[in-house]
Amino acid sequence: MLVLNKEEFINCKKSDTICVYGCGNSINDLKEHDFNILNKFDSVGFNWFCKSLIPTTFYLIREQANIPERVAIGETVEDLVSGLISCSKTCLIVHSIKLKHVFHYDKNLHLFKHHGIILNEVRKKSVREFCNFDLFNDGIVHGKCTLVNVLHICYYLGYKRVLFVGVDLYDSRYFWTKSIRHNMLKKKISIKNVHPTTRDTVNAVQDFLKYYPDVKLYTYNKKSTLSKYIGVFNEQI
């Protein structure tokens, strides 16, 4: 991976709006018309969104690993790398994580032919503290869900609008599989149950609204649980 400096990273931003792509099943409902709209904006993917093969401006890589439960359902380091091959122009944002049990992507940058940055992690901090931490000098804030990290990136880059796409929450389906994931099985959650990160996601969004009111938040999926807290996007906005 070609490592960018701060100025080069900031210059990857081309829009005042960024699409935050989640992994909810509504990703499968997106049509050509939807992409004609969404492709006008910058975008960021994370976790296993790479399985969609949809190119994004940025992609957050944190701790996907080759643990046995994930290997069985195609969630390996190799799967992540192959999923990003078709997105060669994407700027990778790679976490440098000190946890022992994870795969350390920051030590294996040779796997990627992309450009990107490596960020340290600020743990156990909240959304309200985004303004106190510079991504390059201090690190990226990690909260109770990965969306906190993503929102810190959106705040740091100065986006005026954040549009959540595929952040459904009303059930636990993922766009790439009809099977229940191993982490759901452990918690005895079915695909019909609300997503286990719902409370943490909603809390992060509400905190963001409270502390950074100048940034407008929208959901693209009008059925998303987030529609109870933020506006539903339309082309006139």
pLDDT the model gives residue 70 = 67
Q: How does DSSP assign 24-78, residue by residue? A: BGGGGG--HHHHHHHTTSEEEEETTGGGG----SEEEE------HHHHTTT-SHH
Structure tokens at 32: 């050509």
For residue range 113-157, list pLDDT tens digits in order: 999 999 999 988 899 999 999 999 999 998 889 999 999 999 999
CB 208 within 8 A of CB 102: no
Nearby residues of 5 by Cβ (< 8 Å), 6 or more positions away? none
Neighbouring C-beta atoms of residue 64, cutoff 10 Å: 19
For residue range 158-211, list pLDDT tens digits in order: 999 999 999 999 999 999 987 777 666 666 677 778 888 999 999 999 999 999
From residue 129, give the alpha-carbon distance in Å to each of 94, 134, 157, 171.
21, 10, 15, 30
For residue range 145-158, list pLDDT tens digits in order: 999 999 999 999 99
Mean pLDDT, the chain, integer: 91
From residue 100, give the alpha-carbon distance in Å to each of 96, 144, 226.
12, 19, 34
> Against a cut of 0.85, is the pTM above it?
yes
Instruction: List alpha helices for the chain, DSSP H.
Output: 6-10, 32-38, 68-71, 77-85, 146-156, 182-186, 198-211
